[in-house]
Structure 1
Amino acid sequence: MSFIDILLSGQLLFAALLAGSLYGLVALGLNLVYGTMRMLNVAHGDIVMLGAYAAFVAYSALGIAPLYAMPLVALGGAGLGYLMYRTFFKRLLSSQRNGGGNRMEGNSLLLFFGLSIVIQNIMALAFSPNSQAYSYLDQVLHVGNVSMTGNRLLALAVAGGACLAVALFLRRSVTGLAMRALIERREAAYVVGVDVNRVQWLSFALGFGSAALAGALISMLEQFSPFVGFPLTIAGFIVIIMGGLGNLMAGLAAALLLGVIETYGVALTSATFRSVLLYGVFVLVLVLFPNGLLSRSAVARR
């Protein structure tokens, strides 16, 4: 296949859109929690992993198809986010408000790291460290010259639709505008009367819910294990570094760009270069565009 054939391949374009949509959904919650609260959630990929296992159990043990289990998985993730906010992180955020802001990122990093280890080991004890998988909507469909499986088409539709829905929510709803205000000007949000505590727990709930939904989608497409979370966390951080920390809209665009780079890069080289491409992009953006490849300015939103 020539270089031009690769660039014009509808098969690769579909794969790039799917990868970008999933990366966008994974990174969305990570970026939302960091943007509103300046917390580095290194356990985010483990929430994605929990969503994958929830869909697996619903399908294999309860007979609930992933398509119907997805709303329940997302709600369960949102509930877990709310519970974790009220249990662990509300007090940490209060200390930030009372003068501990300089320690917020470091303290949250340590707390999330501990949670990550706990979650991984609990899931390994419950399901064994071995990989799990199941078959769902794996029949091949043909649209022109593009071949795709039903589960991949469903994953693209749900992930893309969820990202668009969150983007509209942030731009059109009062609560979404309050979240954006907290991201861009935290102290000003306090001054104008934004209910910061409500916005923060909603950010946790939305972030964890979107991560769990991403896990349910990923579970239909590939194998997963209790230790799959770390690579997903790294992919999420690559996306938000490219888009600029806390910049949600740019993050979604960066996810699509990363999907294109990964898919076409692997097609032009080989699958063994996938990690090299991802981490190479990460390092280059950090060195050349420290405020984000798509960031409009270097203004610190604190």
Structure 2
Amino acid sequence: MSLLDVLFSGQLLFAALLTGSIYALVALGLNLVYGTMRMLNVAHGDVVMLGAYAAFWAYSLLGVSPLLALPMVALMGALAGYVTYKLLFKRLLSGRQGAASRMEGNSLLLFFGLSIVIQNAVALLYSPNSQAYTYLDQIVRLGDVAMTGNRLLALVVAAGACLVVAVFLGFSATGLSMRALIERREAAYVVGVDVNRVQWLSFALGFGSAALAGVLVSMLEQFSPFVGFPLTIAGFIVIILGGLGNLMAGLVAALLLGAIETYGVALTSATFRSVLLYGVFVLALLLFPNGLLSRSAFSRK
């Protein structure tokens, strides 16, 4: 395949959009938690993994299709986020005055410990082996582009979920409160934003979107208890490229990462996927420490 064939391939464009949309959904929760609380959730990918297993169990044990399981798994993820905030992080955040760096370090250790516990608990209680199932694998053709039904569904759901969250953040009162806390935390306190409510909502929305992404991932590829770490790294790359706490730029960065990965693999081989992913991670840290799109999407003109 020549370079021009790769660049103008509708098949690869579809694959890049799908990968970017999944990464955008994964990074969304990371960005919300970091933006509102300045905490990097290294266990975020493990929430995605739990969402994948929830869909797998619902389909294989109960016969519930992943499409019907989507809202239930997302709701369970949101509930898990709320409980996690209330039990583990509320007191930690309430004592952040004068100890921001210590709070961030403690939260990172807490998330890391939570990640290890989740991975090993799933491996111990179920199996460390990869799992997969077949759902909507019929071929659908749009012009010269051939795709399976599950990939088309995943693209529509991921893009739709990101759009819904963008509208929520842009037009609802709660979304505006989240944006205020992300952009000017101290000012949000002054104008009377209920910071505690916004924080647990950010946890719930972040975990819910991650669980939703897990259902979509389970329809597309094999997964195991240890699949979460690469997804967490992908989410970190997106928020570094887009700027930490910058949600709208993160959506653009996710599509860019999806294109780099998809076209890079097409021009090299699948064995270079991890090299591309971690290479972009290192370059993003070195070249764009403040984000490729450093201007906040929420700043005033």
TM-score normalized with structure 2 length: 0.97
Give the equivalent residue in structure 2 for 1:251.
250
TM superposition shift of 1:104: 2.1
Give the equivalent residue in structure 2 for 1:197.
196
Give the equivalent residue in structure 1 for 2:229.
230
User: For the residues of structure 1 that align with 2:114 and 2:101, how far apart are their CA atoms?
Assistant: 22
Segments of structure 1 that go 5 or more residues without pairing to the other structure are 298-302
User: For the residues of structure 1 that align with 2:116 and 2:265, how far apart are their CA atoms?
Assistant: 31
Give the equivalent residue in structure 1 for 2:135.
136
Measured against aligned partners, the alpha-carbon deviations of 1:39-79 in whole angstroms (never above 9, x if no partner) come to 11000000000000000011000110000000000000000
**Do the aligned partners of 1:35 and 1:246 also contact (CA within 8 Å) in 2?**
yes
User: For the residues of structure 1 that align with 2:229 and 2:284, how far apart are their CA atoms?
Assistant: 20
TM superposition shift of 1:176: 0.5
User: For the residues of structure 2 that align with 1:252 and 1:192, how far apart are their CA atoms?
Assistant: 29
TM superposition shift of 1:288: 1.2
TM superposition shift of 1:102: 2.0
Give the equivalent residue in structure 1 for 2:35.
35
Measured against aligned partners, the alpha-carbon deviations of 1:145-182 in whole angstroms (never above 9, x if no partner) come to 10100000000000000001111111111110100100
1:33-182 alignment, distance < 5 Å:
33-96=33-96, 98-182=97-181
| Seq. identity, % | 81
Give the equivalent residue in structure 2 for 1:3.
3
**Do the aligned partners of 1:38 and 1:104 also contact (CA within 8 Å) in 2?**
no
User: For the residues of structure 2 that align with 1:235 and 1:285, how far apart are their CA atoms?
Assistant: 12
Q: Secondary structure at the match of 2:39?
A: coil
TM-score normalized with structure 1 length: 0.97
User: For the residues of structure 2 that align with 1:259 and 1:284, how far apart are their CA atoms?
Assistant: 16
TM superposition shift of 1:275: 1.2
Q: Secondary structure at the match of 1:148?
A: strand
**Do the aligned partners of 1:39 and 1:109 also contact (CA within 8 Å) in 2?**
yes
Give the equivalent residue in structure 2 for 1:18.
18
The amino acid that maps onto 1:83 is V
User: For the residues of structure 2 that align with 1:286 and 1:116, how far apart are their CA atoms?
Assistant: 23
User: For the residues of structure 2 that align with 1:53 and 1:108, how far apart are their CA atoms?
Assistant: 26
Segments of structure 2 that go 5 or more residues without pairing to the other structure are 297-301
User: For the residues of structure 1 that align with 2:216 and 2:288, how far apart are their CA atoms?
Assistant: 31
Give the equivalent residue in structure 2 for 1:184.
183
Give the equivalent residue in structure 2 for 1:215.
214
Q: Secondary structure at the match of 1:142?
A: strand
